[in-house]
Amino acid sequence: MLDREEPRGTGKHFIAPQSRAATPRPGTANGLEELATSLRLGQAEPGVVYLVGAGPGDPGLVTVRAARLVATADVVLHDLLVAQELLDLVRPEAELYDVGKVGDGRHVAQEDTNALLVRLAKEGRSVVRLKGGDPFVFGRGGEELAELLEAGVRAEVVAGVTSGTGALAAAGIPATHRLLASAVAFVTGHGHNDKPETGRDWASLAHFPGTLVFYMAVKALPTVARELMAHGRSADEPAAIVERGTSDEQRVTRTTLSELPRVARQAGVRAPALVVVGDVVGLGTALDWRALRPLDGRRVVVTRAGAAAAQLAGRLRSLGAIVAELPAIRTIPTGVELPALAGVDLVCVASPAAADALAAGLAAKGQDLRALHGAAVAAVGPGTADALLRYGIRADLVPARAVTEGLLEAIDAAGLTPQRVVVVQARGGRPLLADTLTARGASVTVADLHQTEPEPLTAEQLAELQAADAVLFASGSAAKAVAHALREHGADPAAALAQVRSVAIGPTTAQALHELGITPAAVADPHTPDGLVAATIALLS
């Protein structure tokens, strides 16, 4: 990680940019651009340092302003506890620094970070300093801002969702409550070592008329509990510890003030965690809305490449699932040219990837949608129809049953008797459509403009796959690709997935699984991403 050839900082420690081997996922910044434009959000300006709150961990709790600045800055400095999805927005050519840790595990000294911020800004770069939660809540943001302004550097502070509200919301613990708490205090668990006067006044805290939220209090728990009780807070007052709030690994442990230290020790509580003391905790698990999500905590693997996978993963996450995305297959062009479309009366598109291939095929010939003007367009299902629509092509036929057989039925139902047909599908796809239409007397050209290739699995992805409650297959080729990748790891696909429930998007995919010795636990109906989500809920909740 640490590139020792390009040191930066005060000289006491090396601070070097992280290597940027992983390229950011494409497409993420585009939607953001549109949103930023509609909200009139400017981009990061040269020579300015932005102290930006990154929220408590859930990427959904990052502000739009924060995302926009991260996506446009020349340099981004972050520490631990910052959502990876936010860092994925950093431009490939921008520099990324992890100042949470240097190579040997120590933190980068605050003065080194400050010196680096000043230097970069004075070099005329736009600099984002990302901080967990809110920069002004126990984040030393005030000190950093003072140093920047003193050094004559322009700066902006972007508020973030502090963990004290973000993690409590995710834990279903209201910070205030009309009947139970009319105030909330954010308190640091450890005092400032050099300045005891900024430490806590335990008597005032004990008498505080509301909820106490302690940050950085894991180590100091015994002190916190003892001092609060010694100064008059009831030993029976409800208390909770929220670890890694808002993340997939969030854990909420509930107890009473006097029991806090023992319970925390027993549960093996670790930072980052908040300690909450107050009657609002006494509402118990009744407000634990996360636990009520249909797929709460279920581990689901999505085997689908590209934007479609991201959308499916997003839906599953909103339902509470812990989702891992397996690329499984990548689509590559075959080099085949799109056949001439003049005189063609039906163009069939067999998958979302085929829709992409059709658009690319037109562009490669210097053509556009007008080349399709004489033909009806048939999509195999709603997902493919959506993909076509992104290119401005509205499919004339979208069968209710999203399989080739359904498409044939739809052609019949529409009373079409196509004479010249082009079928855009992956190389090696099912011949059924072309064969049937040919048998009916049509002249059919299969345009296999693209093909799929299995994407190897990393060891980590293999582990995720085997630990999953369910794995979702959205195509037969994805099933074959995963099987191929498993064999590459020396694993027999059927044995490797014996403990994991497989869900197929439709009968063709189910058949492909059967051929691999894998019995799907469910087959989606309708054979669409929505159907896949519904089948997963039925299976796991």
- Nearest approach in angstroms of CB 125 to ligand SAH is 24
How is residue 264 written in tokens?
């925390």
274 binds ligand SAH (CB under 6 A): yes
How is residue 106 written in tokens?
């120590």
241 binds ligand SAH (CB under 6 A): no
- Closest C-alpha among 66, 55, 497 to residue 245: 55
- Closest C-alpha among 188, 284, 197, 207 to residue 240: 284
Q: Contact with ligand SAH (CB under 6 A): which of 172, 261, 272, 381?
A: 272
Q: Contact with ligand SAH (CB under 6 A): which of 9, 139, 418, 429?
A: 139
Q: Contact with ligand SAH (CB under 6 A): which of 50, 97, 138, 202?
A: 138
172 binds ligand SAH (CB under 6 A): no
Taking CB under 6 A as the criterion, which residues in 45-74 touch ligand SAH? 56-57
- Nearest approach in angstroms of CB 359 to ligand SAH is 42
Q: Contact with ligand SAH (CB under 6 A): which of 17, 174, 238, 245?
A: 245
Q: Which is nearer to ligand SAH, 134 or 469 (CB)?
A: 134
Phi-psi region of 375 (alpha: psi -120 to 50; beta: other; left: phi over 0): beta
The whole-angstrom separation of Cα 209 and Cα 427 is 70
- Residues 12-25 as b/e (b if ≥16 CB within 10 A, e otherwise) read ebbbbbbeeeeebe
| Tally of CA atoms within 13 A in the half-sphere of 194 that contains its CB | 0
Q: Contact with ligand SAH (CB under 6 A): which of 72, 163, 303, 351?
A: 163
CB neighbour class for 95 (10 Å; exposed up to 12, middle 13-18, buried from 19): buried
Q: Which residue is nearest to ligand SAH (CB)?
A: 133
Q: Which is nearer to ligand SAH, 139 or 238 (CB)?
A: 139
451 binds ligand SAH (CB under 6 A): no
Q: Contacts with ligand SAH: how many residues (CB under 6 A)?
A: 23
- Closest C-alpha among 466, 476, 495, 475 to residue 301: 466
Cα–Cα distances (Å) from 295 to 183, 288, 291, 319, 539, in that order, read 34, 14, 9, 5, 10
Q: Contact with ligand SAH (CB under 6 A): which of 72, 162, 404, 477?
A: 162
DSSP for residue 165:
H
371 binds ligand SAH (CB under 6 A): no
Q: ω before 56 within 30° of 0 (cis)?
A: no
Q: Give the residues across from 325 on adjacent strands.
A: 302
81 binds ligand SAH (CB under 6 A): yes
Q: Contact with ligand SAH (CB under 6 A): which of 271, 307, 442, 539?
A: 271
Q: Are 87 and 76 in contact (CB under 8 A)?
A: yes
The whole-angstrom separation of Cα 423 and Cα 45 is 50
Q: Which is nearer to ligand SAH, 55 or 306 (CB)?
A: 55
Taking CB under 6 A as the criterion, which residues in 179-198 touch ligand SAH? none
- Nearest approach in angstroms of CB 289 to ligand SAH is 17
255 binds ligand SAH (CB under 6 A): no
Q: In this chain, which stretch among 9-17, 160-168, 306-314, 506-514 interacts with ligand SAH, using CB under 6 A? A: 160-168
Catalytic amino acids? 79, 101
Q: Contact with ligand SAH (CB under 6 A): which of 220, 273, 380, 397?
A: 273
Q: Are 151 and 51 in contact (CB under 8 A)?
A: no
CA dihedral of 171, 175, 176, 180, whole degrees rounded to 10: 60
The whole-angstrom separation of Cα 161 and Cα 244 is 14
Q: Which is nearer to ligand SAH, 238 or 529 (CB)?
A: 238
Q: Which is nearer to ligand SAH, 7 or 222 (CB)?
A: 222
Site residues, ligand SAH (CB under 6 A): 56-57, 81, 131-134, 137-139, 162-163, 167, 215-216, 242, 244-246, 271-274
